[in-house]
Structure 1
Amino acid sequence: MEDQADAGEVRIDVNALATDLENMMHDNLSVSSRCCIFRVPNVLSRHNPKAYAPDAFSIGPFHYNKPHLKATQKLKLQYLHDLMSRFPDTNPETKLRDVTAAISEVRGEACECYEGSIGMSMDEFVKVLVLDGCFLIELFCKARYYKFRGENDPVFSVNCMNSLLYHDLLLLENQIPWLVLKRLFDRTMNIIVTLPLTKLVTNFFGGLLSRGSSIYQEELQDENKHILDLIRNSVIFPSSIAKQERSLNCTTDWKQMPTATNLQEAGIKLEKATTSPPSNILDIKFDNGVLQIPQLLVQDVTESLLRNLICFEQCLPHCEEVITSYAVLLDNLINTTKDMEILCKSEIIDNLMDIEGATIFFNRIFNDTNMLHFYYLPLVDEVNKYCQRRWPRYRRVLMHDYFKHPWALISVIVAAILLILTLLQTVFTIIK
């Protein structure tokens, strides 16, 4: 019997299992302080997967070699050739070896910027960084300097390319580290152009959130983690909201901002902030019954951009939730298509989408996100206190319950006239 038990016994190599577990912990728990390019958590991507995935261009390792993105590799190679051929005193092959060696020197630092495994060898990784990085440098320079473009440039002669690039280059998973871009720029275009890299990048993406506005800030030269972070910093840095002191306490019990309809019923005037240059979109102010909100441009790329900015704030440790706070405030203001129509009529929303689609977008943008500090808490408290004053409260009840429809308004007017006539008749009767 003992022999049979021994024969059926399963032997376990404890040392091998322990080693495997140690390796698993090392691979999955060791996160570098440089990590800033994250895979979008499923809890966020499930609401709109297309908002986080590239349509045409893969940038970096996460989406490299996906079949539907291979068509643009030839375009990127053309831009790499154009960039390497721009130096009359240097052979293109020699220049390419020079920039490849420069990126190879920082491949370890660049790899630490990505969350988890990059899914390729380090040699392949360096190749991807050089190709994608040089493509971006050439793209931003051609966007600013027309003299660098050919007559049949594969990007600027095709109408749909801009919208594809605006979407794909601002995805969290589709980034390469800023240190790679800066190093490539310093060894190529920095010799030829006078503008800094930050200016070239923000010039390309200018006007995405508001018409006629510039998002370039001279102070933001080398403080960026990648292009998406530069866009976020360019929006946040000049805003007054970024300068307020952050409370050490979590603010999870704040009251919501009333909807645009409720604010209007309470007598609060909603108007577009008018300044020159245009106000930063984050600078929302309330004064004496007037809520001033800078205009936001809502177009196809807006949802993708805001979702990826919010996701970046959710994933990056110790990141201030400023864009998330802005999205929450808009979600509070917009509950129905009527709210959206009020904001569009006030020119607060410059809407290039259909009303219903834009409303649904704002209603869902904050789903499953976590926010410890709401930057608009003082503003919301001030608005709610105003709404609780006696006259705004009575006015809201009248507007909501009695003046909601034209016939209700007519009924109230008729009732008031009848009451006045009855009182007059009573007075005349008493006098007689």
Structure 2
Amino acid sequence: MSGIADTDSVPIQRKDWIIDVSQVIREPAQWPECCIYRVPKKLRKVNQDAYTPKLISIGPLHHGSKELSDMENLKVRYFKLYCDRALKGEEDGASTAKAEEKEVQLQKRLARIVSENREKIHNCYAERPPLKDGEFVRMILVDATFIIELFLRAFGDAEDGSDYILSKNWLTQGIKQDLILLENQLPFFILEEIHKTFSKLHVIKEKTDFLTLAGSYLIPRSSYDEIKSGLKEVKHLTDLLRYLFILPLKRNVAGGGGDHPKIPNNTSNNPDKAGLNEESPSSILPNSASKKLDETGLNEASPSSNLPNSASKKPDEASRNADPSAFCNLPSASNLDGAGVEFRKVKGGLFDIEFKKSMCMEWIPCLTCSWLLACLPCLKRTYLKSMEPCLEVPRFSVNNSTETVFRNLMALEQCHYPIEHTYICAYIVLLDHLIDTEKDVDLLVRKKIILNHLGSNDAVAIMINRLCEEIGDVSPYYSDLSEKLIKHYENFWNHAMATLKSAYFANIWRGTATVVGLIVLGFTLWGFIRPYVSHERGGGKSKRANADSFT
């Protein structure tokens, strides 16, 4: 008791019992600026290399990494090149001392822009960067000017063909892949702010906003000449890449609205110049993102022609009315093929997957003309083509960068977007159900839906299946499509007609043999029953003759 009394007698200061939570509790998810995350451990452990930069660090999350230190001098060199570019816009003829003074003043102006936005930049990261203010400002400044200078040079503004990065294809592709990693990002607004402030000083062929530069860098040989104002900016380069995929969906469904700038349809008539050449296996983007922009659904003249049935209503409405378990029983591609579904490659955006089946076939499955079209391919240009169930899928190009690109896009959706907007995840989950084994990939490659640059079809199947590991709930954007495919697959007659086609009408030779066999069988049966028919007819005539003679 005395101990307690002694303790009670000691005066307690306010500072002794106040708990300082300012350094402990931080809720970045409540801040609208928060958009750059460290990939969750459960996703990272599936394939750590897909989320880790190999050549260059951008931003604070990988700053100071020894494996990436070799590129720090290159970033500083590009910072100097950017300053020289800006100073070229000013009057020439100044002395060396004045030129150096102007360069110092320019660097101070650049640093001031970053310093004034330091807290806003901090709020963009889910983790508080463990850097002092001066070091943080310097890091952001060097990384930002490196990206801007690189984009300007890639846009065609390099003074000669000896640029250190652009002259080396392996380095160009490696840095491009590092720049789309979720953990390797700078806030888009600071890049735009710096570029906007100094764009009037740039000696470039065309005055180009930063969104155009970034879009042209991610999709080479593209042209975006007009960006409509009044819309929110993209968060960072990973977010911009995601919207280059889902832009047709957003513009068609939302009528051109959404949270991000709209990229208008203003591309060359040459498909190869409108995006990545689909014959290039080293492209950072899958082929579906490299088509002509007017072929990916950006043409506002047809606001709904490029969307699957589930996109005929707004995504939020479709999500509320959809069955979240629709994917569970979705058959694989080979099983659907066994149920008579024809797979067809079509031009379009990433999400333009549609199942077409005429209404009369819903009631009378035996009316399918798949068997006839298999025997006589020349009839596929007639109306009979609409008499076979068909799953239309845009081409999906698979290369060494595909897994990295989609893993980071999916990680962004899992960390930042609500479930109803996880369109990339929904697309990959759909592919995961369609592709179970190498047999499914063989079918899709044969139908020219998958363009495989990995070499092994089994490797493609493994990659697609692993992409969905540790992925949570996704948007039920394809729920209507899944329900239609499941309904078709569970119909007995569809399997029966598919078996008939594969067994007797797989090609023109087997179909011809089947038809000839049926004709021979018909004549054989007729030859067998003809004597009895003739006897019956002869007996009837004799009876009538006897009756007539009797009368």
Partner of 1:59: 58
TM-superposed deviation, 1:217? 8.4
Q: CA distance change for structure 1 residues 328 and 364 in 2, over 3 Å: closer, same or farther?
A: same
Partner of 1:225: 235
CA contact (8 A) 1:215 1:234 kept: no
CA contact (8 A) 1:333 1:339 kept: yes
SS in 2 for 1:238: helix
SS in 2 for 1:228: helix
C-alpha separation between the residues in 1 aligned to 2:401 and 2:127? 28
Partner of 1:19: 19
C-alpha separation between the residues in 1 aligned to 2:17 and 2:70? 44
1:260-409 aligned within 5 A: 260-274=333-347, 279-288=348-357, 289-318=389-418, 320-354=421-455, 355-396=457-498
Aligned partner letter, 2:352: D
SS in 1 for 2:344: strand
CA contact (8 A) 1:57 1:69 kept: yes
Q: In the TM superposition, what whole-angstrom CA distance separates every residue of 1:199-223 from its partner, at most 9, and x where no partner exists? A: 211111117xxxx988998458752
TM-superposed deviation, 1:365? 0.7
Question: How high is the TM-score relative to the length of structure 1?
Answer: 0.83
Partner of 1:45: 44
TM-superposed deviation, 1:82? 0.9
1:33-432 aligned within 5 A: 33-86=32-85, 87-88=87-88, 89=90, 91-146=102-157, 148-189=158-199, 191-192=201-202, 193-206=206-219, 218-219=227-228, 222-239=232-249, 243=254, 244-245=313-314, 246-247=316-317, 249=320, 251-255=323-327, 256-274=329-347, 279-288=348-357, 289-318=389-418, 320-354=421-455, 355-396=457-498, 424=525, 427=528, 431=532
TM-superposed deviation, 1:386? 2.9
Q: CA distance change for structure 1 residues 29 and 229 in 2, over 3 Å: closer, same or farther?
A: closer
Q: In the TM superposition, what whole-angstrom CA distance separates every residue of 1:284-307 from its partner, at most 9, and x where no partner exists? A: 122221211111221111111111
Q: CA distance change for structure 1 residues 102 and 286 in 2, over 3 Å: closer, same or farther?
A: same
C-alpha separation between the residues in 1 aligned to 2:492 and 2:207? 60
Q: In the TM superposition, what whole-angstrom CA distance separates every residue of 1:374-424 from its partner, at most 9, and x where no partner exists? A: 111112222223333443232456689x79x9xxx9xxx8xx99x969x85
Aligned partner letter, 1:42: K
Q: CA distance change for structure 1 residues 92 and 343 in 2, over 3 Å: closer, same or farther?
A: farther
C-alpha separation between the residues in 2 aligned to 1:17 and 1:301? 54
Q: In the TM superposition, what whole-angstrom CA distance separates every residue of 1:325-349 from its partner, at most 9, and x where no partner exists? A: 1111111111111211221222211
Aligned partner letter, 1:348: I
Q: In the TM superposition, what whole-angstrom CA distance separates every residue of 1:132-176 from its partner, at most 9, and x where no partner exists? A: 111110111101124x24443110111211221232011110000
Question: How high is the TM-score relative to the length of structure 2?
Answer: 0.66
Q: CA distance change for structure 1 residues 115 and 16 in 2, over 3 Å: closer, same or farther?
A: farther
Q: CA distance change for structure 1 residues 390 and 104 in 2, over 3 Å: closer, same or farther?
A: same
CA contact (8 A) 1:215 1:235 kept: no
C-alpha separation between the residues in 1 aligned to 2:42 and 2:116? 36
Aligned partner letter, 1:260: A
Q: CA distance change for structure 1 residues 214 and 315 in 2, over 3 Å: closer, same or farther?
A: farther
Q: CA distance change for structure 1 residues 286 and 429 in 2, over 3 Å: closer, same or farther?
A: closer
Instruction: Name the count of aligned residue pairs.
Output: 405
Aligned partner letter, 2:325: D
TM-superposed deviation, 1:81? 0.9
Q: In the TM superposition, what whole-angstrom CA distance separates every residue of 1:306-364 from its partner, at most 9, and x where no partner exists? A: 11111111111536111111111111111111211221222211221132222111011
TM-superposed deviation, 1:117? 2.1
Q: CA distance change for structure 1 residues 47 and 396 in 2, over 3 Å: closer, same or farther?
A: farther
CA contact (8 A) 1:59 1:176 kept: yes
CA contact (8 A) 2:454 2:460 kept: yes
C-alpha separation between the residues in 1 aligned to 2:342 and 2:434? 13
Q: CA distance change for structure 1 residues 381 and 14 in 2, over 3 Å: closer, same or farther?
A: farther
Partner of 1:9: none
Per mean C-alpha deviation after superposition, the further-off stretch among 289-298 and 45-54 is: 289-298
Aligned partner letter, 1:313: E
Partner of 1:10: none
Q: CA distance change for structure 1 residues 390 and 23 in 2, over 3 Å: closer, same or farther?
A: same
Aligned partner letter, 2:326: W
SS in 2 for 1:134: helix
C-alpha separation between the residues in 2 aligned to 1:296 and 1:191? 42
Quote the sequence identity (%).
Answer: 27
**Structure whose CA Rg is larger:** 2
Aligned partner letter, 1:168: D
C-alpha separation between the residues in 2 aligned to 1:150 and 1:179? 30
